[in-house]
Amino acid sequence: MAFEIMESPPRTAVLLIAPETGRLPEDMGTLARFISGKSGGLGEVVAALCEGLTERGIECHVATLNLKRRFQKECDLDEEQWRDIRYRIPPARVHLISSSIFAELPSAYAGNPLLNAVEFQRQMVNSVIKTVRAHHGGRIILHSHDWMAGGAITAYAKSRGCPVLHTVHNVHTGHTPVDMYLGVDIEKLSPYLYFSMDHGRPCIDCQATAIKNATLINFVGYKFLQEILDDYFLDRPIIPESIRREVKEKFYHGSTLSILNAPSPGMYPEKSPHLVRNYGPDDDVLAAKKENLLAFQRRTGLIENPDAILLYWPSRLDPAQKGVELLEDIALRFVIENGDVQIAVVGDGVGRDQTHEEILGRIAWASGGKITYQRFNESLSMLGYAAASDVFGASLYEPCGQIDQVGNLFGATATNRDTGGYHDKIHELVLQEDGAPRDEGNGFLFRDYDSGGLWYGLTKSVHFHRRPSELRQRQMKRIMRETRDRYSLPGMIDQYVRIYERLNGGNPLS
C-alpha cells in the first residue's frame, strides 16, 4: 500500500511596510529585539500589529529602514557588536532596508526624506516583496503605512496583482523626483503612478499613488476622513488636492475604512519600566500618581508639590498642526492665575527648527518652577504621563492622535480641540453629582483654534481636578477601565484580521 504525503499549501503572508516601527515582538525572530524606536503613532501601531498578528499565528513580516546608528544607540551596541548581530542572526520575518543614505540618521524623515524614500522603495520593489512572496508561494498581502511606503511600492504591487491595504496616518506626501529612481522600471509602472511636478521636476506623488493603487484604504480616525470628504481646511495647505481627490474616489467606490489605533499593552502603567511606582485601575491611582509626580518634578526642576495639578503636553512643537503657539501665548498667564497648576512640555521641535524650543525654554525659566520644557526622552515622557492630571494639546487637525488614549490609560483626563481623532475619542466628562444621568466621558474639548479656546478647555479640566480626591479617584479608575476596554489591542487586531481575510478572498490567514 502506497502512502502519499500531502503538503499543506503555503499560508498567505502579511507584509507590513513602514518607514519606522516601535519595539517588535521577539517571536518575529532574534533580530526583532534590536529593532526598536519611539516613532509616534505610526511606529507604535506597526509594532502592535506585529505583536497581535504573531500571537495569532499569522505569517507576519515587517520591512523598515535600517536606521543603524539609532538602533545601536538604543540597544547600547558598538559597531562591532552590531555587525556581529547583522551577520550572524538570520532576519527571519524582519526585513531591514540598509543603505548608507540613512544609516546614520535618527529617523526616516531626517536628512533628505525624498532620497530616503526612493532608496526604500527601490529595494522593496527589486528585492523584498519578491522574496517574501516567493517564500509563501505567491500568497501575500501588503499593508503599507504612510507616504514613504507608497509610491513605487504600491504601484508595483498593483501591477503584480497583490492586494494592498494602505493606512493613512497623516495626509503629508512626498514628491519624489522620477530621475532618482535608478534601477526601477518606472516606464512599466507609469500607468499606476500619480505623477506631479515639483520645482519644475517630474515627480511621483507618493501618498496619492498609494491611495490610488490600494485595494482598500484605512484611516486611523473616522472624523478626519469625514473632514476630508466635507472639504474642511480648504483655506490652509493641509490636505493636498491630490490626496483629497483620491480619497473621495476610494470613498465613492466603497473602499475606505476607519480603524482607531490601540496602544500596545507595553505602554500601560502596570508594565511601564519608566515609572517609580507602577499601578493599574485596581490600585490607589491617586497615591501612585503622586509618587510619580514628585519624581517627575525632581527630574524636570518643577517645584516639588504632590498636590499640584500637572497639565502635560507630550507632543512635538509643531505650529502647523499641534498649535504650540497657542500654548506659548497662555502658559505663563495660566499658571499665574491658577496657583495650584503646573505645566510640563516634553517634545522636540520640527526638523532643525529650534524656535519653539527656545521660546518654551524662556517661558519655563520665567515661571520660577511652575513650567518646565524638556526635549523628548522616552523615559521622561512616559513618567510624565504617570505624573499628569491632564494630558492636553491644541491640534488644528488630527488624523488620530494617541496622547489622549495614553493619558487616559495612565489615569489622566484628556483635553484637546474638537477635531479629527480627538472628536472620535474625547467625550465631555459629566458626573452624576452634577445632575447627569450617569458618570461618563474622559476629558474636555474646545472648539476654536485660538488661545482663548485652549484657555477655556484647560480651565474646565482644572475645575474638575480641584474636586474632592474621592470623586477624582472614582472617575480616574472608571476612565482607565473604559479605555482598556474600548481600545484593546485584541479588538484592533480583530478588525485588521477581518480586512486581511477580505483581501485574501474571504479565506482565513491562520
**Would you state the cell numbers that stand for residue 340, as one nine-digit string?**
495650584
Q: What is the mean pLDDT of the chain?
A: 91
**pLDDT tens-digit series, residues 47-84:** 888 888 888 889 999 999 988 777 777 777 777 776 76
Q: What is the pLDDT of residue 89?
A: 55
Q: What is the pLDDT of residue 73?
A: 72
Closest CA to 209 of 117, 131, 273: 117
**pLDDT tens-digit series, residues 132-151:** 999 899 999 999 999 999 99
**pLDDT tens-digit series, residues 229-284:** 999 999 888 999 999 999 999 999 999 999 998 887 778 999 999 999 999 999 99
Q: What is the pLDDT of residue 6?
A: 46
Contact present, 184 and 208 (Cβ < 8 Å): no
The bridge status of strand 164-168 relative to strand 140-145 is: parallel
Per the listing, cell 500618581 goes with: 289
Confidence of residue 416 (pLDDT cuts 50, 70, 90): very high
Radius of gyration of the chain (CA): 23
Confidence of residue 40 (pLDDT cuts 50, 70, 90): low
Cα–Cα distance for residue pair 481/215, rounded to 1 Å: 36
The percent of the chain in helix, strand and coil, each rounded to the nearest 5, is 45, 15, 40
Cα–Cα distance for residue pair 286/96, rounded to 1 Å: 43
The bridge status of strand 201-205 relative to strand 195-198 is: antiparallel
The neighbouring-strand residues paired with 95 are 63
Cα–Cα distance for residue pair 168/217, rounded to 1 Å: 7
Min mean pLDDT across 86-95, 313-322, 364-373, 394-403 is at: 86-95
Planar angle of CA 496, 498, 499, nearest 5 degrees: 65
Sequence-ordered strand ranges (E) for 208-340:
216-219, 256-258, 309-313
**Would you state the cell numbers that stand for residue 39, as one nine-digit string?**
516613532
Q: What is the pLDDT of residue 27?
A: 67
Closest CA to 116 of 74, 67, 83, 71: 67
Q: Which residues, in sequence order, are CB contacts of 465 under 8 Å at separation 6+?
A: 309, 389, 390, 413, 472
- Domains along the chain? 13-262+489-503 (3.40.50.2000), 266-486 (3.40.50.2000)
pTM of the model: 0.89
**Mean pLDDT, rounded, for 493-508:** 94
User: Contacts for 99-103 with beta carbons within 8 Å, 24 or more apart?
Assistant: 99/66, 99/123, 102/65, 102/66, 102/67, 103/66, 103/67, 103/68, 103/69
Q: Which residues, in sequence order, are CB contacts of 68 under 8 Å at separation 6+?
A: 82, 98, 103, 104
Q: What is the pLDDT of residue 67?
A: 84
For the chain, report the end-to-end CA distance as a whole number of angstroms.
Answer: 33
Closest CA to 500 of 193, 223, 254, 167: 167
Q: What is the pLDDT of residue 69?
A: 77
Planar angle of CA 172, 343, 303, nearest 5 degrees: 145
Cα–Cα distance for residue pair 367/342, rounded to 1 Å: 10
Q: HEC states along 48-107?
A: HHHHHHHHCCCCEEEEEECCHHHHHHHHCCCHHHHHHHHHHCCCCCEEEECCCCCCCCCC
- The pLDDT > 90 percentage for the chain reads 74
- The pLDDT > 70 percentage for the chain reads 92
Residue 86 reports pLDDT greater than 60: yes
Residue 487 reports pLDDT greater than 80: yes
Q: What is the pLDDT of residue 353?
A: 84
Q: How far is CA 241 from the centre of its chain?
A: 24
Per the listing, cell 543614505 goes with: 101
**Mean pLDDT, rounded, for 173-193:** 95
Cα–Cα distance for residue pair 220/262, rounded to 1 Å: 10
Cα–Cα distance for residue pair 166/171, rounded to 1 Å: 12
Residue 454 reports pLDDT greater than 70: yes
Among positive and negative, which fits the CA dihedral 111, 114, 115, 117? positive
**Would you state the cell numbers that stand for residue 473, as one nine-digit string?**
479617584
The neighbouring-strand residues paired with 414 are 391, 443
* H or E segment and range at residue 495: helix 489-503
**Mean pLDDT, rounded, for 21-30:** 70
* H or E segment and range at residue 310: strand 309-313
Q: HEC states along 162-189?
A: CCEEEEECCCCCCEEEHHHCCCCCHHHH
Per the listing, cell 558598538 goes with: 78
